[in-house]
Structure formats: C-alpha cells, structure tokens
Amino acid sequence: MKIRWRLRMAAAQREVWTGTQLQRLLAERAGLQMSSASVSALFTKEPSQVKMSTLIALCTALECTPNDLFEVDTTPVGRPAAPPRPVADLPKTASARGRSMPPL
C-alpha cells in the first residue's frame, strides 16, 4: 500500500499558496502555533508520520477531511515466493539442525 501526501493540492484548491498563509490559517482557525520551518516541511515534503492533533488542525484550517490530504493506493502487492532450497545444496555431513551425521 502506498500513501501520497496531498497537502499542497488540498491547500491550492482552497487558494492557500504559501506556507505563511497555511501557518496563519492554522493559528486562526485551529489554534495551532507551528514554526515556519515545520509548516514549510509539511508543505514541501512527504512526512513519514503526522500527529493526529496536527492532522485535525490541518483539516480544520483548510476545511477539509483527511481524505483530501492523502491519496491511498490499495492495489494488492504481489510478493514473489522464495524458491525452495534444493536438497543437493545441503552438505552431506549436516542435518537441518546443524548436527553431524554418521557416514553413509
């Protein structure tokens, strides 16, 4: 599953074009004071995690839902099966537990 951060798009649809505008909206509408650097990072980078309180503040400030801020690709990802290890690759003097075997 892949998740794309779409804050810039959600903000642009509400005519919020800069981090400074977003910072002001967060303070006015949601009561969240964030540093310019933090707002800029949210605006320009895809975060690896977002606090729930920040997500709620973003939704409040932009009058949107979390669905407007994320794009989730739920296409199943097929995982290749590991090929079985051939018996011929095992040493003849060792068992699966690593103990030595008597000679054949």
Spatial CA neighbour of 22 closest among 52, 64, 51:
64
In this prediction, residue 88 carries a pLDDT of 61
In this prediction, residue 68 carries a pLDDT of 92
Q: Collect the ranges in the chain with pLDDT lower than 70.
A: 1, 85-101
In this prediction, residue 69 carries a pLDDT of 92
| Long-range CB pairs of 75-80, under 8 A, 24+ apart, other chains included | 77/1
Residue 97 domain-assigned (yes or no): no
Residue 103 domain-assigned (yes or no): no
The CA R_g of the chain, rounded to the nearest whole Å, is 26
pTM above 0.85, yes or no: no
The total domain count for the chain is 1
Domain that holds residue 54: 2-73
Residue 93 domain-assigned (yes or no): no
